[in-house]
Amino acid sequence: MASNATVFKAALQISDVDRNYYQDHALTLARHPSETDERMMVRLLAFVLHAHEALSFGRGLSTEDEPDLWKRDLTGVIELWIVVGQPDEKSIRQACGRAKLVFVYTYGGRGADLWWEQNRAKLARLENLAVMNLPPDGSRNLAKLAQRDMRLQCTIQDGLILIGDGNNSVQIELTVLKGAPAPFVH
């Protein structure tokens, strides 16, 4: 954790009807000084979508050879590599060579659209890659839920994501830019 990182705690109640996954998770997130609440909450959303006891956060923005989240099996093989934002094509190719399955979660509206237009053709041949896009209002509203101590209820059903803190809630529907290989693995 970076020395100037801000620590956030999140108690999550996850009800993922699509995966038949119902668990509570207590997480600690370190927000790098250059990271926005929006990006941090997209990382948290990625955790919710792939929640598993072996899923963990990487060391952060300053560590280029690690993802934002990853899941390793008991032998150390990387099963899942998750990146948030608009990574360069070379780092995505490298991740696809290291992990069984790679997910990229883009957000930010026009910037994410431009990134996808520039990288779509190069990324099309990577068979173990899925690219998802959050609508701009979804990621901005998610950022409004950011607090140093969060208690969030997360429900996923029919691809629709609902996250709330008891007072406010955000509904998000991701756009699949490049689908995951079958079977769809979280």
Could you tell me if residue 117 is inside a domain? yes
Give residue 61's pLDDT: 59
Domain that holds residue 87: 6-178
Phi, psi (deg, nearest 5) at residue 50: -120, 20
Could you tell me if residue 129 is inside a domain? yes
Evaluate the CA torsion angle 7, 145, 179, 55 in order and state its sign: positive
Give residue 140's pLDDT: 96
Residue 186 clears pLDDT 50, i.e. is over it: no
> What digits encode the pLDDT tens for the residues 83-95?
999 999 999 999 9
Could you tell me if residue 186 is inside a domain? no
> What digits encode the pLDDT tens for the residues 152-171?
999 999 999 999 999 999 99
Give residue 136's pLDDT: 93
Nearest Cα to Cα of residue 64 among 103, 94, 97: 94
Band (2; pLDDT cuts 50, 70, 90):
very low
Give residue 59's pLDDT: 77
Give residue 1's pLDDT: 46
Q: Over pLDDT 70: what percentage of the chain?
A: 92
Q: What is the CATH number of the domain that holds 93?
A: 3.10.640.10
Q: Please, what is the average pLDDT of the chain?
A: 92
CB atoms within 10 A of CB 125: 9
Which ranges of the chain would DSSP assign to H, the alpha helix? Answer: 37-50, 89-98, 110-123, 136-143
Q: Which residues lie below 8 Å from residue 129, measured CB to CB, with a gap of 6+? A: 92, 96, 102, 103, 104, 123, 178
How far apart are the C-alpha atoms of 73 and 165, rounded to whole Å? 32
Nearest Cα to Cα of residue 70 among 60, 84, 56: 56
Residue 69 clears pLDDT 50, i.e. is over it: yes
Give residue 160's pLDDT: 95
Average pLDDT (113-119) is: 96
Could you tell me if residue 66 is inside a domain? yes
Residue 184 clears pLDDT 60, i.e. is over it: no
Could you tell me if residue 163 is inside a domain? yes
Give residue 65's pLDDT: 75
- Residue predicted with more confidence, 64 or 119: 119
Domain tally, the chain: 1
Residue 127 clears pLDDT 60, i.e. is over it: yes
Could you tell me if residue 166 is inside a domain? yes
Helix count and strand count (H, E) for the chain: 4, 11
Q: Are 128 and 104 in contact (CB under 8 A)?
A: no
Could you tell me if residue 1 is inside a domain? no
Whole-prediction pTM? 0.93
Give residue 62's pLDDT: 55
What six digits make up the tokens of 75? 């032998």
Could you tell me if residue 40 is inside a domain? yes
